Structure 1
Amino acid sequence: MSAQDLSPAAKKTKLDGSANEEKLKKMIEKVKVVLLDIEGTITPITFVHDILFPYIRKHLSDYLDKHWKEAECQQDVEALRQLAAEDTKAGTPGAITIPAASDDSKERKNIIQAVIESVNWLMDADRKVTALKQLQGHMWKDGYVEGALMGQVYEDVVPILEQWKRARKDIYIYSSGSVGAQKLLFGYSTYGDLLYLFSGHFDTKIGMKVEADSYHKIAEEIKCQPEDILFLTDVVREAKPAEEAGLNVALVIRPGNAPLTDEDKQHYSTLTSFDVLQPDNEFMR
């Protein structure tokens, strides 16, 4: 079918698609830095929800028993204890208090049970809090090192990241998952160790992903102007504050991601594969 045979609506879709792709190509050519979300952007959303999160719920009790006397584990528990105290003080419905530290063996069981209930409650509520992410990261480390977990990355991602690196573009990760968890995912991926591709990692310690100030801080941290950064995410609530901060933004559409509204598709550039973000210079590929 030729372009002349297309209906007006089909022609508009075709033109819009071409304009969208052209805009994306211009973005990747002009920016110096690419800032990447993980879940739903470069990693299947099912990996987190169907593999990583269930791993925490299944192994939490054994992990606490095994590592309880270690300083790292106690630091994680104390961070969760303080968070629970803050939630309780704020009157957050469902918050579970974690008893104070104790050397008594019977009280230890009560503390561990409270930690388990608190972690499950935080996960059920999808809380993006550092205390939870910190414990999860330490647990996932055990899983990756033991071979029970391997990081999943979309097949179109790695070749393009390698092209960006050859084109001297810095690549950073910004995820609600802890920096430690990020490094484990990419260090133990199904494609091998991918950490060499990244110039740095950010998590919620820099700020929440739904706040414009977080993106200002990232730009300051990496000594780059916001307009020289391209942020790729699948979440509109993250795209908006990044755009407010002056970053270039594009939304990634992947299987299982939350659907975008027509308004979102009109406002933001979108992509279903990283292939459209190849640098133009052939020798960089």
Structure 2
Amino acid sequence: MTTLTARWVVVDIEGTLTPTSQVHVVLYDYARPRLGPWITEHPTDPIVVDAVAQIKTLGGLGADAGTDEVVAVLHRWMAEDKKIAPLKTLQGLIWERGYADGDLVTEFFPDVVPALRAWHDKGVDLAVFSSGSVAGQVASFSRSTDGDVTGLFMAHFDTVNAGPKRAAPSYQAIAAALGAGEIVFFSDVPAELDAAAEAGWRTVGLARPGEPFGDADFGPHLAIRSFADVSVELA
């Protein structure tokens, strides 16, 4: 087992904490048919109004485009797995409701929560950086196969409040928000690890069998198959 020291552990979600299918199958399938009704049912919600305006601009639609046209753009982005902020915002709102209603339950890899709890108990602070919205992150942690684990995390970051996951300035912004201390980032995507390393973070790649990046080349980054392969001590 490899032992690391850190003040902060920052984790990705998809492919790192949960199977990719949790997002691409379970959550996407839940959100897809609810996007249009959500927009229609929240015509004055400023978050929804702003998201729809952004979608029209980014999707090349006119200002008078209808909901069906907006939804068609959203479905196309989902099919292409685009990490676009207004899409993630609407998905997050829908997932938040789904978790609150008990329709959704997050399934973590079995090694995840025991490791996070162990690091948390040692005084290491935990944070999340995911392309999913902060609202969606918190909702997904509130109802899981391991119960409500929201209390383990001190901070949440997404592409809105931090920036793109494959760009070093995003990690610099997160480091500034977290304050002083060594940071270790766990992700299954080598390009994200490259960006974090460029920002001065320590990095660990999750090469989980059967996942999209299970056989990826992690280059200079420490690569593990499970959180059970590494221990994090408080720096």
Q: Same fold (TM over 0.5)?
A: yes
Query: Does residue 5 of structure 2 align to residue 41 of structure 1?
Result: no
The Cα shift of 1:252 comes to 0.4
Q: For the residues of structure 2 that align with 1:241 and 1:280, how far apart are their CA atoms?
A: 24
Alignment-derived partner of residue 112 in structure 1:
67
Match of residue 184, structure 2, among 199, 206, 230: 230
- Structure 1 segments unaligned to the other structure (5+ residues): 1-20, 89-96, 101-109
CA-based RMSD of the aligned residues comes to 1.9
Alignment-derived partner of residue 240 in structure 1:
194
Q: For the residues of structure 1 that align with 2:177 and 2:233, how far apart are their CA atoms?
A: 28
TM-aligned CA distance change 1:269 to 1:224, over 3 Å: same
Query: Does residue 15 of structure 2 align to residue 32 of structure 1?
Result: no
Write out the 4+ residue segments of structure 1 that deviate beyond 4 Å after TM superposition: none
Q: For the residues of structure 1 that align with 2:232 and 2:168, how far apart are their CA atoms?
A: 28
Aligned identity (percent) is: 32
Name the amino acid aligned to 1:233: S
Query: Does residue 33 of structure 2 align to residue 58 of structure 1?
Result: yes
Q: For the residues of structure 2 that align with 1:177 and 1:265, how far apart are their CA atoms?
A: 23
Higher helix share: 1
Q: For the residues of structure 2 that align with 1:125 and 1:99, how far apart are their CA atoms?
A: 24
Alignment-derived partner of residue 252 in structure 1:
206
- Structure 2 segments unaligned to the other structure (5+ residues): none
Name the amino acid aligned to 1:195: T
Query: Does residue 233 of structure 2 align to residue 277 of structure 1?
Result: no
The Cα shift of 1:279 comes to 4.9
By relative contact order (CA 8 Å, sep 6+), the higher-ranking structure is: 2
The Cα shift of 1:59 comes to 2.1
The Cα shift of 1:200 comes to 0.4
The Cα shift of 1:265 comes to 4.5
Match of residue 111, structure 2, among 156, 178, 183: 156
Structure-2-length-normalised TM-score: 0.91
The Cα shift of 1:244 comes to 1.1
- Is contact 1:98-1:115 (8 Å) kept? no
Match of residue 67, structure 1, among 42, 45, 58: 42
How many residue pairs match? The answer is: 232
Structure-1-length-normalised TM-score: 0.76
- Is contact 2:207-2:223 (8 Å) kept? yes
Larger mean Cα displacement after TM superposition, 34-43 or 116-125? 116-125
